[in-house]
Structure 1
Amino acid sequence: MTTKKFISMDGNEAAAYCSYAFTELAGIYPITPASPMAQYVDLWASEGKKNLFGMPVKVVEMQSEAGAAGTVHGSLQMGLLTTTYTASQGLLLKLPNMYKISGQLLPGVMHIAARSIASQALSIFGDHQDVMAARQTGWAMLASNSVQSTMDLAGIAHLAAIKTGIPFLHFFDGFRTSHEVQSIELIDYDLFDRLLDRDAVTRFREKSLNPARPVTRGSAQSDDVYFQTRTLQASHYPGVADTVADYMEAISKETGRHYAPFNYYGDKQATDVVIAMGSVIETAQQTVDHLLEQGKKVGLIAVHLYRPFSTKHFLKVMPKTVERITVLDRTIEPGSIGDPLFLDIKAVYYGLPHQPKIIGGRYGLSSKDTTPQMILSVYENMFGEQKDQFTVGINDDVTFTSLDVDVSVDISDLDATELLFFGLGSDGTVGATKNITKIIGDHTDLYSQAYSSYDSKKAGGVTRMHVRFSKKPIRSTYLVNYPQFVSCSTDTYLTKYDMLKGLREGGTFLLNTTTPKEEIGKLLPNKVKRQLAQKKAKFYIINATDLAYEIGLGRRINTIMQSAFFKLNEHLLPADQANAYMKEYAEKTYGRQGEAVIELNIKAIDAGYKHLVLVPVDPAWAMLEDAVEERGDRPDFVKKIADIVNRIEGDSLPVSAFLGYEDAHMTNSASRYEKRGIANFVPEWRSENCIQCNQCVFACPHAVIRAFLADDQEVANAPESTKFIDAKGKGMDPYKFTIQISTLDCTECGVCVQVCPTPEKSLAMVPIGEELAKGAQQTADYFFNEVTYKDLGKGNAKSLSFSQPLFEFSGACAGCGETVYIKTLTQLYGDHMVFANATGCTSIYSGSFPSTPYTTNSEGYGPAWANSLFEDNAEFGFGMHVAYETARDRIQTLFADHMDDMPEDLKALAVEWIDNRKDAAVTKRLKQPLIDALKKIDKPYAKELLIMKDYFIKISQWILGGDGWAYDIGYGGIDHVIANNEDVNILVLDTEVYSNTGGQSSKAASRGSIAKFTAAGKGTKKKDLAAIAMSYGHVYVAQISHGASPAQVIRAFKEAESYEGPSIVIAYAPCIEHGIKGGLTNSFSQAKLATECGYWPTFRFDPRREEESKNPFQIDCKTPVWDKYHDYLLSEARYAQLAQINPDHAAELLDANLNDAKRRWAMYQRYLAMDYSPESWQ
Structure 2
Amino acid sequence: MDIFSILTGRRYRLFDYVGHPEAEHIIITMASSSETVEETINYLNAKGEKYGLIKVRLFRPFSTKYLLKALPSSCKSIAVLDRTKEPGSTAEPLCLDVAQSLFNAYQNNKIETLPRIIGGRYGLSSKDFTPAMVNAIFNNLKQEQSKNNFTIGIIDDVTHLSLPYDKRFEINKSAFQALFFEEDSHLDQSLSSLEKTLGNSKFNYVQSFKEIDYKKSESKQVKHMRIDSKPIKAPYLITNADFIACQNVLFADMDNALNNIQSKGTLLINSSLTSKIFWQSLSANVQGAIIEKKVKLYIVNLKNLKTHYRIGEASISAFDTCFLYLNNGYVYSNNLAQLCTKIISVNTSKQTNFNTISIENKSDFESTLLGKLLRGNEEILVGDLPIDGSYQTNTSIFNTTRTLKEKPDWNSESCIQFGAFSMACPQGALRIKVYENEYLDTKSIGFKSIASKDFDLMNYTIQINEDQCNACNNCIEACDVKTIKLKPHFNMENSDWKYFKSIPEFDRTKIDITKISQQQLQEPLFKYSTGDDGCGEAPYLKLLSQLFGDRLLVANATGASSIFFWDFTNDSLVEKPRRKRSCMVKLVI
Structure 1 position 710, deviation (Å): 3.3
Question: 1:639 Cα deviation (Å)?
Answer: 5.4
CA shift, 1:276, in A, is 0.8
- Paired position in structure 2 for 1:279: 32
C-alpha distance in 2 between matches for 1:686 and 1:493: 36
Equivalent position of 1:197 in the other structure: none
Counting aligned pairs with the same residue, the percent is: 28
Aligned to 2:458: 735
Matched, 1:865 2:579: yes
The reply on whether 1:705 has 2:419 as its aligned counterpart is no
Aligned partner (choices 566, 569, 579) of residue 850 of structure 1? 569
Within 2, Cα distance between the matches of 1:320 and 1:439? 48
Counterpart of 2:549?
830
Runs of 5+ consecutive residues of structure 2 not aligned to the other structure: 107-112, 308-315
* Other-structure match for 1:750: 473
Give the whole-Å Cα distance in 1 for the aligned partners of 2:213 and 2:261.
22
Kindly tell me: are residues 739 and 561 of structure 1, through their superposed partners in 2, closer, same or farther at Cα, counting changes over 3 Å? farther
Distance, in Å, in 1 between the alignment partners of 2:418 and 2:120 is 62
Q: Match for residue 1109 of structure 1?
A: none
Report if the CA contact (8 A) 1:311-1:348 is conserved: yes
- Report the CA distance between 1:734 and its aligned residue: 2.5
Q: Is the 8 A contact 1:666 1:851 kept in 2?
A: no
Partner SS for 1:521: helix
Cα distance between partner residues in 1 of 2:208 and 2:241: 13
| Cα distance in structure 2, aligned partners of 1:529 and 1:415 | 29
Residue of structure 2 in register with 1:646 after alignment: 374
| 1:711–1:735 Cα contact (<8 Å) kept | yes
1:331 partner SS: coil
Alignment of 1:805-816 (within 5 A): 805-816=524-535
1:430–1:465 CA contact under 8 A, matched in 2: no
Q: Partner of 1:360 in structure 2?
A: 119
Residues 433 and 815 of structure 1, relative CA distance in 2, 3 Å threshold:
same
Corresponding residue pairs, total: 572
Question: Matched residues in 2 for 1:826 and 1:854: separation?
Answer: 9
1:519 aligned partner, one-letter code: I
1:259-301 per-residue CA deviation (whole Å, 9 max, x = no partner) reads 3322222111000000111111222123212321331111111
8 Å Cα contact 1:494-1:524 kept in structure 2:
no
Cα pair distance change 1:261/1:446, threshold 3 Å? farther
Quick one: distance in 2 between partners of 1:518 and 1:620?
11
Q: Secondary structure at the match of 1:652?
A: coil
Indicate yes or no: 2:383 matched with 1:656.
yes
3-state SS, counterpart of residue 268 of structure 2:
strand
Q: Which amino acid aligns with 1:721?
A: I
2:235 to 473, 477, 499: 477
- Relative distance call for 1:817 and 1:432 in structure 2 (3 A) is farther
Query: Structure 1 residues 547, 854: closer, same or farther in 2, change over 3 A?
Result: farther
Partner of 2:18 in structure 1?
Answer: 265
Q: Deviations over 1:406-433 (max 9, x none)?
A: 2232x14112111112223x34287754
Q: How far does the alpha carbon of each residue in 1:382-409 deviate from its partner, in whole angstroms, 9 at most, with x for none?
A: 0113111111100111111111112232
| Contact residue 505 and residue 537 of structure 1 kept, 8 A | yes
The change in CA–CA distance for 1:325 and 1:866 in structure 2 (over 3 A counts) is same
Q: 1:821 to 1:611 in 2, by over 3 A?
A: farther
Q: Name 1:248's counterpart in structure 2.
A: 5
1:248 and 1:260 in contact (8 A); partners too:
no
Cα distance per residue 1:968-998 (max 9 Å; x no partner): xxxxxxxxxxxxxxxxxxxxxxxxxxxxxxx
Q: Which amino acid aligns with 1:619?
A: S
CA RMSD of aligned residues (A): 2.9
**Counterpart mapping for 1:604-683 below 5 A:** 609=339, 612-621=342-351, 625=354, 627=356, 629-632=358-361, 640-649=368-377, 651-661=378-388, 663=389, 665-677=390-402, 679-683=404-408
Q: How does 1:636-1035 map to 2 (within 5 A)?
A: 640-649=368-377, 651-661=378-388, 663=389, 665-677=390-402, 679-716=404-441, 720-731=444-455, 733-758=456-481, 762-767=484-489, 770=490, 772-773=491-492, 775=493, 777-789=494-506, 791=508, 792-856=511-575, 862-867=576-581, 869-871=582-584, 964-965=585-586, 967=587, 1002=588, 1004=589
Structure 2 residue identity aligned to 1:501: N
Q: Gapped runs of 5+ residues in structure 1?
A: 1-243, 550-557, 580-605, 857-861, 872-963, 968-1001, 1005-1178
Q: CA separation in 1, counterparts of 2:449 and 2:190? A: 47
For the Cα contact (< 8 Å) 1:460–1:811, is it kept in 2?
yes
Change (3 A) 1:510 1:566: same
User: Could you say what secondary structure the match of 1:528 adopts?
Assistant: helix
SS of residue paired to 1:428:
coil
The alpha-carbon distance between structure 1 residues 415 and 633, as it changes in their structure 2 partners (threshold 3 A), is closer
Higher relative CO (CA 8 A, sep ≥ 6), structure 1 or 2? 2
Amino acid at match of 2:372: I
Residue 222 of structure 2: aligned partner = 464
Amino acid corresponding to residue 530 of structure 1 in structure 2: G
Q: Which AA in structure 1 matches 2:526? A: F
Q: Deviations over 1:628-675 (max 9, x none)?
A: 522348997x851111101111x31100001334x3x32222222334
Q: 1:155-206: CA deviations, max 9, x gaps?
A: xxxxxxxxxxxxxxxxxxxxxxxxxxxxxxxxxxxxxxxxxxxxxxxxxxxx
Name 2:311's counterpart in structure 1. Answer: none
Counterpart code for 2:344: L
Q: CA deviation at 1:699?
A: 1.4
Deviations 1:652-707 (CA, angstroms, capped at 9, x unpaired): 1100001334x3x3222222233432545433334445443333322111111112
SS at match of 1:541: strand
Q: From the superposition, tell whether residues 864 and 547 of structure 1 become closer, same or farther in structure 2 (CA, over 3 Å).
A: farther
Give secondary structure in 2 for the equivalent of 1:816: coil
Q: How does 1:249-648 map to 2 (within 5 A)?
A: 251=8, 254=9, 259-353=12-106, 354-384=113-143, 385-409=145-169, 411-424=170-183, 426-428=184-186, 433-441=191-199, 445-544=203-302, 559-575=317-333, 609=339, 612-621=342-351, 625=354, 627=356, 629-632=358-361, 640-648=368-376
Could you tell me whether the CA contact under 8 Å between 1:566 and 1:575 is conserved in 2? no
* Higher Cα Rg, which structure: 1
Shift of 1:332: 2.0
Measure how far apart 1:376 and its partner are. Answer: 0.9
CA gap 1:712/1:268 in 2 versus in 1, 3 angstroms: same
Answer yes or no: is the 8 Å Cα contact 2:79–2:137 preserved in 1: yes
Specify whether residues 762 and 749 from structure 1 end up closer, same or farther in structure 2 by C-alpha distance, changes over 3 A only: closer
Displacement, 1:744? 1.8
Task: Provide the C-alpha distance between the structure 2 equivalents of 1:634 and 1:693, rounded to a whole number of angstroms.
Answer: 43
TM-score (norm 2): 0.89
Aligned partner letter, 2:124: L
Distance 1:845 1:404, change over 3 A: same
Q: Residue 764 and residue 457 in structure 1: after superposition, are their counterparts in 2 closer, same or farther (change >3 A)? A: same
> What is the CA–CA distance in structure 2 between the aligned matches of 1:673 and 1:713, rounded to whole Å?
31
Letter in 2 for 1:364: G
Show CA shifts across 1:803-826 (max 9, x none).
111001111111111111101111
2:313 aligned residue: none
